[in-house]
Structure 1
Amino acid sequence: MRKHILIVSPASERDNNGNWQTASRWARFLRGSHGVTVAGGWTPEQPAPDLLIALHARRSAAALAAFSDAHPDKPSVLVLTGTDLYRDIAVDPDAQASLARAHALVLLQPAGLALLPHASRTKARVIYQSAPSLRPYPRAAVPRCFDIAMVGHLRAEKDPLTFIRAADLLTHPAARLLHIGGALDPALGEAARAAQAASPRYRWLGALPHAAARQRLKRCRAMAITSSMEGGANVIIEAVTSGVPVLASDINGNRGMLGEDYAGYFAPGDAAALARLIDRIIEDAAFDALLRRQCAARAALFAPSVEQAALRDLVDNLLLQPDTYGRPR
């Protein structure tokens, strides 16, 4: 029997960020079996869904609280983001209340499980995000430029200044840094504009439609992710499933995606270390091949069929056997 599922997302299609990509993809995965709506919130005056899926413990706290209070026997799922795991659940009362209210918790990579209170871990599961594989881009024997992409809006958690500063520290003459993302922080946007004016190595392309960003990414030699916190970055998956190796800040969330033994980490905020990795992946064929092998070994985790099966299993258990994941406190 088809049920009605509401996905509450603090981000909209206009935002074109990781939360929105998760919400829209999950809606697509579930619509074959259920009716699905994506909205920015829920209030008791609205019709009640059979299941509520809330993205972001703090920003969706009001909707989750209203739903839990009005319909305590209807199941709910909370999807934890990077700011949830690595900041909010430690200090924010609304985020902490969301953890307790939700019937089930979803993390996007396993390293975050250790951040949860012990009482919450029994109702948590990991569902890796996914992206369709793209055919690797055929590379010229002697390319004019070696493009390294960063895909992420300009805000503090993404630490775009580390990527910008790396441009002036590169030594390979053909290295070029391409930054895709809108300026959510005006000061960081000004820094990007100034860097583009001052350095021929750095280009800020601004916000691009999702499909266009993926096509630009697949043409790059590597992707850099410089974030100071991540819950499970979808851009890592999109790089890996496009055959593009990743250079990643050495943070818990990135290790959960790429593995503990991954060779492409650099210390968070260390622009010089990132620049060295960029020069090395261009100049050292063995290092480039190693990162490509390690990324390829992770690709099976990020298949759409795997994510869809895990999501449907979670939803079916909650709808058909609502006590499977326990009741909220």
Structure 2
Amino acid sequence: MAASGKPSICIVSPGTARDNNGNWHTADRWAHFLRGDYDIVIQERWSEQWPAPDLLIALHARRSAPSLADFRRHYPDRPALLVLTGTDVYHDIHHDAEAEGALALADALVVLQPAALDELPDAIRPNAHVIYQSAEALAPLPGLPGRQDITMAGHLRGVKDPATFMRAAALVKAPDVFMQHIGAALDADLGRLAERTAADLEHYAWLGGASRELTRDCIRRSHALAICSTMEGGANVIVEAITSGVPVLASDISGNRGMLGDGYAGFFPAGDAAALARLIDRSVQDGAFLATLRAQCAARVPLFAPEAERAALLALVDNLLPSTPRHPIGKKT
């Protein structure tokens, strides 16, 4: 128990504000949700040198596995929650012994969309909860005159597959399409490819890294968001687009299906630049198709409401710290 009298929680996040990535945004948002009832600290790593929290929340099975193992070794009677935030659920827990072992060390697991439950071992699945990420609903912004922006937001690295977005830029036919990518070059080769593509195509721009606020404003001005990833745990950028009325054109992978629904009309085969280009052209030129995408996205908005994420998180945390229950836990999603 902290000096304030509130239970203490340490959120271990392998991403920091400097990294400006999905893990950090999840940690920052959850800390905001929890601070009213708990004392919160966010750290990149936990070890016995730090004060022991009443609850450890570890983000990402592989990257936070050492923190979770140290906590469990020194404080076996204190609860720990493991959040499977991305590639860990679709890759690491199947190929990395430390990540796989982390599943058994946690008292409860969280995945960010329901399709991820299928990746978990049968023995672990009963301990797993789905908590969708959220974003504040913001109205779309007027686009630039004579331009239909297709925005991709995410750092340039292989798993995000920005090369497919660049190849699609060379194939689109609708005259007003402008394709822009926001994100830092974590892969130097992809950064050079983005520079070459921007030099070759007037309707493609690589904008580099940007703040979350600027990125979201760009999304709000867009005709559509493109997400080309080959692997996603549950992309928050999808949430940010949908809660601003911006439809999504998404690679057909499990993580995106879990966020958008199996019947969503805006999927394209992962890595298929020609299919993405056709989807972009159709979204610009076919009003009925665009209306379908917008309606399907609008139907998902309640899933991504901040109050829904906050209620689910508080209920789970209170259940793990039963001495101070405040928020009744509901039925698992």
TM range (shorter): over 0.9
Q: 2:75 aligns with which of 54, 67, 71?
A: 71
Contact 2:81 2:108 in 1 (8 A): yes
In structure 2, distance between residues paired with 1:98 and 1:129: 22
Separation in structure 1 between the aligned mates of residue 115 and residue 230 of structure 2, nearest angstrom: 15
* 1:45 alignment partner in structure 2: 49
Measure the CA separation in 2 of the matches of 1:139 and 1:40.
38
Q: 1:271 aligns with which of 266, 270, 273?
A: 273
Deviations for 1:158-190, whole angstroms, at most 9, x for unmatched residues? 000000100000001111101000001111111
| Runs (4+) off by over 3 Å | none
**Partner residue of 1:179?**
181
Is 2:7 the partner of 1:3? yes
Q: Post-superposition shift, 1:46? A: 1.4
Q: CA deviation at 1:268?
A: 0.2
Residue 135 (structure 2) pairs with residue 111 (structure 1): no
RMSD: 1.4
TM-score norm. by structure 2 comes to 0.95
* Residue in 2 that maps onto 1:290: 292
**1:253-268 equivalences in 2 (<5 Å):** 253-268=255-270
Alignment match, 2:170: 168
CA contact (8 A) 2:143 2:149 kept: no
Match of 1:310 among 306, 309, 312: 312
- Deviations 1:14-47, CA, capped at 9 Å, x for gaps: 1111111000000000001111000000111211
Residue 36 of structure 1 pairs with residue 43 of structure 2: no
In structure 2, what residue type is equivalent to 1:57? A
Q: Is the 8 A contact 2:165 2:228 kept in 1?
A: yes
- Tell me the percent identity: 58
Secondary structure at the residue paired with 1:320? coil
Check the 8 A contact 2:17/2:24 in 1, yes or no: yes
Q: How many residues align?
A: 322
Q: Which amino acid aligns with 1:271?
A: A
Q: Where does structure 2 lack aligned partners over 5 or more consecutive residues?
A: none
How far is the alpha carbon of 1:85 from its aligned partner? 1.2
5+ residue gaps, structure 1: none
User: 1:57, CA displacement in angstroms?
Assistant: 0.4
State the TM-score, normalizing by the size of structure 1: 0.96
Deviation, structure 1 residue 321 = 6.3
* Pair 1:20-2:24 in alignment: yes
The answer to whether 1:129 aligns with 2:133 is: yes
Counterpart residue identity of residue 94, structure 1: E
Following the alignment from structure 1 to structure 2, what is the Cα–Cα distance between the partners of residues 232 and 321?
32
Distance apart, 1:201 and its partner CA? 1.4
Q: Which residue of 2 aligns with 1:60?
A: 64
What is the CA deviation profile of residues 54-106 of structure 1, one whole-angstrom value per residue up to 9, with x for unaligned ones?
00000001100000010001000100022111111011011011001011100
Aligned ranges 1:122-161 → 2 under 5 Å: 122-138=126-142, 143-161=145-163
Match of 1:169, SS state, is coil
Q: Does 1:236 align with 2:238?
A: yes
Matched residue type, 1:256 = G
CA distance in 2, matches of 1:10, 1:138: 36
CA distance in 1, matches of 2:141, 2:210: 19
SS of the aligned residue for 1:122 comes to helix
